Structure 1
């Protein structure tokens, strides 16, 4: 209760324009927000930028918060909305980062994480399901106490440690230690808090002095002046782009829209079994049970291999679908060339035979090959387009 009351008092002071009180709130939740943004973007610089914008947006919108007890979920919702907006753009601009300008030696590790190490960490974390990734990032950055981490994530300590243990089991021991070390070094600290507060203190129009007419007007409400200063801070943070690339540079990692495990299984199973569905009734009509069984077994193996591959690396899903099309084409052509004559004989002897519908084996080969080739071309085109987008260098940080 004491913690809740203290946070409520800080929110009231922040609503009245108290930046020191808001700084305490930033210090309290910066690890949580940075964990949320990094778990979604996979880039330290981009996640810090979005996290700063989250607190700036919260500062300007505090008057909209009806219940102080809902501040944490409200703040997390702002962060997730900003992440979604940035992910839709598929491009992160490098902006001026007050945190990266002349950092103290104690915080140098946060800035000096090389791009290669960032890529290695994110490649390892991508192997962890989303429900485990965010808790493990937050836990590693907020060590050694698990209690506040569990409370902020609305989990019990037992559930938190179980998720951390599951995440570590998906990584090799040396990889898990490497990820833990890097995440601990990149935990937000005092420079992050000061960067947010520095942004809040920036006037919206620093070049304009006070107007005599304005000085005679009544002093605006604290909430209105705070919102006005925050709007100027956001505008200033977005427009004051750095010309020093050595502070923090990055290239956006390929982070396509993630599919849930259920969606991956559904999409691949539907496409694969749909691609061989016409073979089953035809083989049943001819009472060719071995052919039907072989088709089902091979289709199941294709589905198992492709879904496992996709869940490990969803950035290659269009390429995986291309290989699936090649496998399905080979399966269809093999069955047609080996069993078509027997099937047509059974069909012609059956009561539903219609002479004009007879198709030769070579005609079926051409039809299947044409359909599969068209689908393969589509998937390869989508894969090439995605690779070009994710490999495109970020926009130069100069006007």
Structure 2
């Protein structure tokens, strides 16, 4: 009897994880990419996030949405990756990667275009603690409360970081000759 219950719970976990991967997989990858700026590494981090979600499923208290929980795991995993020895000692290959246009590469092309965009370049120069709030607020369309939960900071800190990030972008836009910056 007990093994049947355990099997049923395991099947429930796997079903929930499959749903989450389908619903939030691209959001997790995009959010990870905003940290690591490497699409393949962002995919690896997303795999780690969903594996951790599976192993830690019993700790999910459902006080927030599954997406908020997954984004918090993603933020923590990305910060761990950025602090890792591998990143600090990695050789950077300056040669551009050749990509070929196929329907499977559409997302990668969109991300590459965003990198080339001047405003995205400015966002990438913003310190991480401001950039992560911008990405969650504008790209992921998360509320201040959800961002606070994901980053484990107060809502006041979220508002302050958003204000400072916007001020940085406004200043940079004005330096570049864009007078209509908001």
TM over 0.5: yes
Give the whole-Å Cα distance in 1 for the aligned partners of 2:7 and 2:16: 6
Q: 1:42 aligns with which of 37, 43, 51?
A: 37
Pairing 1:113–2:110 present = yes
Q: 1:141 aligns with which of 134, 139, 142?
A: 139
Contact 1:58 1:75 in 2 (8 A): no
Describe the shift of the 1:80–1:50 C-alpha distance in structure 2 as closer, same or farther (beyond 3 A). Answer: farther
Give the whole-Å Cα distance in 2 for the aligned partners of 1:14 and 1:160: 40
Give the whole-Å Cα distance in 1 for the aligned partners of 2:48 and 2:147: 19
SS at match of 1:58: helix
The corresponding residue for 2:90 is: 89
The corresponding residue for 1:16 is: 10
**Structure 1 position 55, deviation (Å):** 3.0
Q: 1:124 aligns with which of 122, 125, 132?
A: 122
The answer for unaligned runs of 5 or more in structure 1 is 1-11, 95-99, 177-399
The corresponding residue for 2:27 is: 31
Give the whole-Å Cα distance in 2 for the aligned partners of 1:168 and 1:80: 22
Give the whole-Å Cα distance in 2 for the aligned partners of 1:148 and 1:133: 16
SS at match of 2:35: helix
Give the whole-Å Cα distance in 1 for the aligned partners of 2:143 and 2:52: 27
Matches within 5 A, 1:1-399: 16-17=10-11, 18-26=13-21, 27=23, 31=27, 34-35=30-31, 37-43=32-38, 45-58=39-52, 62=55, 67-69=59-61, 76-83=75-82, 84=84, 87=87, 88-90=89-91, 102=103, 110-113=107-110, 115=112, 117-119=114-116, 120-121=118-119, 123-143=121-141, 145-172=143-170, 175=173
Deviations 1:218-242 (A, max 9, x none): xxxxxxxxxxxxxxxxxxxxxxxxx
**Structure 1 position 16, deviation (Å):** 0.9
Give the whole-Å Cα distance in 1 for the aligned partners of 2:8 and 2:165: 37
Deviations 1:224-263 (A, max 9, x none): xxxxxxxxxxxxxxxxxxxxxxxxxxxxxxxxxxxxxxxx
Describe the shift of the 1:47–1:30 C-alpha distance in structure 2 as closer, same or farther (beyond 3 A). Answer: same
How does the TM-score come out when normalised to structure 2? 0.55
Deviations 1:279-316 (A, max 9, x none): xxxxxxxxxxxxxxxxxxxxxxxxxxxxxxxxxxxxxx
SS at match of 2:125: coil
Describe the shift of the 1:15–1:155 C-alpha distance in structure 2 as closer, same or farther (beyond 3 A). Answer: farther
The answer for unaligned runs of 5 or more in structure 2 is 1-5, 63-68, 175-182
Give the whole-Å Cα distance in 1 for the aligned partners of 2:112 and 2:24: 28
SS at match of 1:16: helix
Aligned residues: 151
Give the whole-Å Cα distance in 2 for the aligned partners of 1:165 and 1:34: 23
